Amino acid sequence: MTSHPATAAPALPRPRGPLSAAVITALTTSARPHPTPDRLRPHLAAPDPYGDDLQLALYVLYELHYRGFAHVDADLEWDPGLLSLRRALETVFESALRTGTGPAQSVDEALGGLLVEPAGHDPDSVSHHLQREGTHGQLSEYAALRSLYHLKEADPHLWAVPRLHGRAKAALVAVEYDEFGAGRAEDVHAHLFAELMADLGLDNAYGRYLDAAPAAALATVNLMSLFGLHRALRGALVGHFATLEVTSSPASARLAEALRRTGAGPAAVRFYTEHVEADAVHEQVVRRDVIGQLLTDEPELAPDITFGIQATLLLENRLATHLLTAWRSDHSPLRIPLSGTPPP
């Protein structure tokens, strides 16, 4: 594993098409004006909403609101041209999500579906696959992809805090307090995941595996940023948060067992065992105190909460299909295998 300062900004990734190339070029040149939807209209005519080019362009633009990139001017976070382009890309992404989530459910129906665990092995579940037959290499690949979120774990959901009030806000902050280690830096979940990566022999630098991540993995992280950065989507952000907390405990138990079975070190196992008990409690708080109170305060947000749940499941299922298809074909799901080199 390579050691990096924990606060270091990542390097910009390689572009994957004209949209991401335009964004990355804009961040590395002083030339103005920066790309706008009008200048990129031919490439925005019919982009693949889940494709590598659009998802990487969105990821890079969103990352300006997190740690940014090495040698990129922090002021570009609010560049009007880049913001305009981001909004155009978001519109394509959000439209596809709304089309793909199908008929609307009630919040109770959507949450109820999350609470149902399959009676046996679920062939479409990544955690079931890893628990039963996953290899050390597959667990490492999974950790590398998930690092794009887990090394910023809970950060996107903080954007909901100033947009809630009363009991819903207090409950959300209580759960987030645990996610950030309850005041102890060594227990911050992002830090625990970095230790998991080190235990698996991975480079735990923030953003290290961005070039290796397929579009399906980028989309799961972009969803959180989309919901978090728009006050109008605060209900969807709460729905996303609920989905993670409700489904985390049983999946974490399976992943902890997979790591033990393959001989991973204690730090790797600890990350998931920490989530088994904590998220079982968080699930109750989120359902009762965050969602329950939010629906009392703002009942009109019910469709948005459901959309957040459904969109999260849609993208997680797309990622699961990508991972399982690759592993069952004895291929790496990464664009750049952990032992390989970048494509030309």
What is the share, in percent, of the chain residues with pLDDT greater than 90?
78
Interacting residues of 280 by C-beta distance below 8 A, sequence separation 6+: 249
Interacting residues of 26 by C-beta distance below 8 A, sequence separation 6+: 34, 35, 76, 79, 81, 82
Give the number of C-alpha atoms closer than 13 A to the C-alpha of residue 89, restricted to the C-beta side: 33
Provide the pLDDT confidence category of residue 288 given band limits of 50, 70 and 90: very high
Q: Are 148 and 222 in contact (CB under 8 A)?
A: no
Write down how long the chain is. Answer: 344
Task: Report, as an integer, the average pLDDT of 139-162.
Answer: 96
Tokens of 304: 């948005």
| Verdict on whether the full-model pTM lies above 0.85 | yes
Tokens of 21: 């190339």
Summarize pLDDT for 251-285 with one digit per residue, the tens. 999 999 999 999 999 999 999 998 887 767 788 89
SS (H, E, C) 304-326: HHHHHHHHHHHHHHHHHHHHHHH
- CATH numbers and ranges of domains, the chain: 18-100 (no CATH), 107-328 (1.20.910.10)
Provide the pLDDT confidence category of residue 120 given band limits of 50, 70 and 90: low
Tokens of 210: 């961005």
Task: Report, as an integer, the average pLDDT of 85-93.
Answer: 94
| Closest-CA residue to 286 (of 239, 326, 252) | 239
Task: Report, as an integer, the average pLDDT of 136-151.
Answer: 97
